[in-house]
Structure 1
């Protein structure tokens, strides 16, 4: 048989040639050798401390080298004279397949099938791992999660006491700079869990897990703890502490636990870390309990919960006026109430500043105290705020509360990428925190990244079903993306989950009015004013509704009344009030009142050059329209050009502030650049601008020069048609 003989391609001839070239023998020897290597690796890796996952790489190497061995067996023979090329067939040798050959062939088929199955399993496993959002990373050996302490007592408030001990231990551990400590919000999700320690360690990305329990018996307390290596499920250390029930003893136990954990994790506490641990505590268990109750309410974060937190912190301070953390937490809660709109920033400063000052007096170097101080400086527009908060994050890189305060500040300052970096640092420490995912979603919204924002809010729904943050966030995202009918659904959900927040029904008014459901808007306007009769956002939403339904005089009267009371600016309420007064002034030809109100509320717009921000951009254009009629016209032109320049510099289509682009449309129309104005309006409409479109076009005197343009009317028709489509096709969404 020659090399070119086509019969060489026949299956039996091919297998006969494999036999002649000893390929079967090589394959058999390779399989046996590979099996031995894998067994040795399996046993050796465990004794050498090599992760078991490394065994897969030995498997991969064995599979990849198998074809190489077969090629070698085809081309070469191993003889007494060394390795030589396999000679051509002579035709005299018996090349028929024998029983051992069939055995080896069967083994080869089995190896191929096993390899294919193993590969598919690895791919499927990787997909499952991705679906479960498990991060493939090397686990930091100096990382720990402290599970909620079990309670083994019939004493009524032992559970709250155990939570307080657990929280304070976490706070103490977080002060060890070289230790990565998972924050409280995430570990609380493992209360009464049936998951194994390795599962928990894998989900949280930690090397060690501490679990324990608290038992009260009369005037004594027992605290037992055990430290477990989550990678091996092996117990590293355990101890039971029996002491008299005093604050000093409880905190001494915690300090001992911190010292022991640090030693087990092969680290040594610095003198400064030892000094910081325990310095901000109280000596009174009753004050400690009230502080713990307050922190639990802060975690809930609803209007009612925040007010209840204030009560608990105040009671803690009545018991122990020197309690540093209670002073700082109370000041921070007042600031949080201002963020939610429950009180004004001025009220927060008035009620919280004294507590902040006292906390600084008692312990000025405490990072949380400094973070709250920075927050108050930002409320007062003090430029020192940034440096103070940043220094606090450097001093306490494990303190999620400190990181969250700074991230919120960065978001408000429109420093989006910096804020995202700080939030990622916080989420690494608190990966199951709904509030942090809410902050992350809001940050993505500020950057105009609507899909990542919705993913963050979906994560909240998965972590904490029923949490209002998910609905709040989804409502904001869909408002900005122009999906107003879906936004109405999410706003209703937010209202049902946080019934004390009077701003929720006010938002519903704005949304329903935007797509013409005035009956629903009226119902929510009545509810908002019933809940917050003197609050700016309910008043401005009602005034908007009155204007959009033709009750202009009532709307203007409400606006004048609100401006006369110097109400806080919430969610653009000042813009609405000033817009309504401006419209009335242009209609009547009497400008003094309107100009005086603009001067009162936006004095920076009267400077040269005008001081234009995101908060007054639209008001700047409305003021310019007044000045065009009342004079001086040159000042009006300067304002309009400055407004356009400010928008172009700071915002783009797709950013969260893109709705401010309607101010550019107004400015271009007032400057007589109608074609450019219509082009900009079309860009906005295509990008999802829908909210209050009727108020900002048909009821806006700045658009008078555009109304007869067919292209302008086409855009309004497109918006109306899209909103009707949304009404007709809406189905309840699902974000988890």
Structure 2
């Protein structure tokens, strides 16, 4: 019970802000930030709020330490401005709590309490005083001057409570013949949602029942004009029928329209929000028994609105764009956040299939969770015209979801709906098709993904399987080694529960394939497992876009690059908003076909769909490096790191830029170490560090990091590559060549394998063996008209040299001429550059000066690598004075870089090397 000896604090948050202590108004809370903090605390009454949570909510863009300082200062100011709240607060160093039994009154709390008690009673007139009091409390939205995101769910919830109260009032008053009073409350309902056809229906009917036919017809005209203005649709069939009955004078005293029930026979009814008996309101919007598919229907409707709005020829493409912001988990259980995010993810996937509608990716919108930015600013950053917000709550065996569509520029709510149902699979089947069809008819929208003549299949009948799938997808998003392992475990459970869950099969296949790169898993084993899941997914449902992304990855590792690209193209045809399909297609164009311009266009398209997602920009940076636009790539990566200083992938990619495009191995190693400290299970980073030390000429560090990499991922496709160089450095040439020979075409470093094995044969004077082995590795090279592109340029140059060694001079020169003509299109120094290898081309022509000129250009551009002094094909130049001079320059650069690393290490300025057990994930 509240302590009556303490002064009573009265707080008004609805319509305007006001506070009084006792009967004395408080004028010291004019600061909006203080008002917002007070509202936040009192609306969370009874909940212990961690200081870090409040700090992040109010200052999401600040560093944690600064945000906590800001909160401490603001709380101090609030307590100083309103000393009486010390009786209401429990404060310690970790948390703050507004006591539920504190001496206070809150208009919002009184309103919600009245709404909860608004259920029909035997004598409804007894509920009238409390309902009318609650209706008077709702003088407008919660904190109308507050634009912070945390307030939105409370604002929506209270608006819903007000709607419940007013609807109950209208029903009771109408039932008792008090039409004039009911009209006033019905007008308030319409002010809450001017596009609510049920509210307009009630108002028109009440005017008619009150004997005012002219007012009824005017109300219909206003409704018709509003719907046409905002949605460009006519009133629904029920409204038109009501209008006709008023015009013809056939409306009876009792409503001619009975509420339609959408609950399947035998299922549980909605006890949380029951409708009044014999309500004059038209049927509510269809409600889906299970929130996931309710949300599908809602967003299908939203897509219909957007497409209908965009049907006018003057509509610009930007108007047909939408961002679905992260849904709020309004359950008491933190674990339900996975479920909420899963619903949100699937909504994005489903709505993205609407033709000509630009839908922002999940990863881009997730950055706006709990953001304090205005919707207008978020929309501007994402490049969209409309925003969807919503929330999900599970309580017992019931689930509630609310969704609203907002015009971002004006802040105007275009459409909103709330759903409450039992959380059972039984409700899904009976309603899913019916609701989708009904909404499509009502909004004149079409939701049929390409190639589908019928509504989309329901992913799974089993709620537990769906939840396991959601957990898996949440873990797979960041593609860390640990995350992928957890994702696979959850996907396995989903498939065990429902073996016919196609989406789960597609997702687990992609996770297994991603483990090849991020976890160092063996190619053959992973592709073997993935293949079965992809086949099953295609058998169950061959219209899933993500299945074709997985198929493309599988074909990529099977080195069938043409089939891989066909799969990516199919994925995009099925879902034109599938960001991952564009990225993978870009990677294929980039690395397998050397088509940098198309790769850049594809990555830019992915970036348009996912403007806040690191993935597209990471690929853009790689393509820019290949195009020689290094400074642009660097700026892009630095921007990513500024946005998220903990982004190990972006830091590692910047290290790669310094490594491959600038040959600044000291800076690269420093950044690699930073990324590795953030993501110690990333086997890709440890091998990169090893290779940077290789280029730097530090054989000891190369061996130690290689051995670490091998210990972390002993079955990786990189192991045989690293072992080959370890044996070479130790003088174990036979063992070295044996390892290089064991590399497969699907391995990342297969080009090195072909070069090292061929070079060993050349060094031994076995030229026929060298060219024979080379053409086995690259059968396309034997074609005199073979295509030359940036991806195969180095291999073509080497083939020109091998042709020369084997006395096939005419063929060598002809192919060499084609290579020289292509060189201006390629870059010399980058991860896909040809470095100094064009020297081989000039040596094949007996042009030592040309070969030295090529090496000189490489060095003058900043090229530095110990490979220069060890390379087999340029052996004939190694005693030339000019070559020695250039080699001295390179060695001097590398020595300075090695010294710089030693200095950083001595000063403790390099990120610590994680314990091996940590890297092993133990």
TM-score (norm 1): 0.70
Q: Which residue of 2 aligns with 1:516?
A: 697
Q: 2:891 aligns with which of 705, 720, 723?
A: 720
* 1:223 alignment partner, SS class: strand
Q: 1:675 aligns with which of 827, 831, 849?
A: 849
Q: 2:652 aligns with which of 440, 463, 472?
A: 472
Q: Which residue of 1 aligns with 2:671?
A: 490
Q: Is the 8 A contact 1:280 1:323 kept in 2?
A: no
* 2:863 alignment partner, SS class: coil
Q: Which residue of 1 aligns with 2:862?
A: 688
How far apart, CA to CA, are the structure 2 residues paired with 1:435 and 1:485? Answer: 26
Deviation at 1:665, TM superposition (A): 0.7
Q: Which residue of 2 aligns with 1:450?
A: 630
Any unmatched runs of 5+ in structure 2? 1-314, 912-922
- Cα 1:562–1:607 shift into 2, 3 Å: farther
State whether structure 2 residue 741 is matched by structure 1 residue 557: no
Q: Which residue of 1 aligns with 2:388?
A: 210
Q: 2:598 aligns with which of 395, 400, 418?
A: 418
- Cα 1:637–1:333 shift into 2, 3 Å: farther
- Cα 1:416–1:604 shift into 2, 3 Å: closer
Q: Is the 8 A contact 1:294 1:309 kept in 2?
A: yes
How far apart, CA to CA, are the structure 1 residues paired with 2:580 and 2:478? Answer: 14
How far apart, CA to CA, are the structure 2 residues paired with 1:292 and 1:639? Answer: 57
Q: Is the 8 A contact 1:682 1:715 kept in 2?
A: yes
Q: Which residue of 2 aligns with 1:439?
A: 619
* 2:859 alignment partner, SS class: helix
Deviation at 1:301, TM superposition (A): 0.8
Q: 2:378 aligns with which of 192, 196, 200?
A: 200
State whether structure 2 residue 418 is matched by structure 1 residue 240: yes
1:336-735 matches, cutoff 5 A: 336-338=514-516, 340=518, 342-343=520-521, 345-378=523-556, 379-381=558-560, 383-412=562-591, 413-479=593-659, 480-544=661-725, 547=728, 551=730, 553-554=731-732, 556-563=733-740, 565-567=742-744, 570-572=747-749, 575=752, 577=753, 579-581=755-757, 584-585=760-761, 598=774, 600-605=776-781, 618=794, 633-635=806-808, 638-639=811-812, 642=815, 645-646=818-819, 648-649=821-822, 651-654=825-828, 656=830, 659-690=833-864, 693-695=865-867, 697-726=868-897
State whether structure 2 residue 411 is matched by structure 1 residue 227: no
Deviation at 1:184, TM superposition (A): 0.9
- Cα 1:416–1:591 shift into 2, 3 Å: closer
Q: Deviations over 1:622-677 (max 9, x none)?
A: 67777877xxx324774576367447526523564664243221232244210000
How far apart, CA to CA, are the structure 1 residues paired with 2:483 and 2:817? Answer: 43
- Cα 1:561–1:534 shift into 2, 3 Å: farther
Deviation at 1:226, TM superposition (A): 2.8
Any unmatched runs of 5+ in structure 1? 1-136
Deviation at 1:681, TM superposition (A): 0.8
* Greater displacement, 599-608 / 342-351: 599-608
How far apart, CA to CA, are the structure 1 residues paired with 2:652 and 2:439? Answer: 40
Q: Is the 8 A contact 1:280 1:325 kept in 2?
A: no
How far apart, CA to CA, are the structure 2 residues paired with 1:256 and 1:463? Answer: 44
Q: Which residue of 2 aligns with 1:54?
A: none
* 1:702 alignment partner, SS class: coil
- Cα 1:183–1:142 shift into 2, 3 Å: same
How far apart, CA to CA, are the structure 1 residues paired with 2:692 and 2:374? Answer: 47
Q: Is the 8 A contact 1:294 1:308 kept in 2?
A: yes
State whether structure 2 residue 470 is matched by structure 1 residue 292: yes
- Cα 1:515–1:728 shift into 2, 3 Å: same
TM-score (norm 2): 0.57
Q: Deviations over 1:22-62 (max 9, x none)?
A: xxxxxxxxxxxxxxxxxxxxxxxxxxxxxxxxxxxxxxxxx
- Cα 1:376–1:535 shift into 2, 3 Å: closer
How far apart, CA to CA, are the structure 2 residues paired with 1:643 and 1:490? Answer: 39
State whether structure 2 residue 347 is matched by structure 1 residue 169: yes
Structure holding more helix per residue: 1
Deviation at 1:221, TM superposition (A): 0.9
* 1:383 alignment partner, SS class: helix
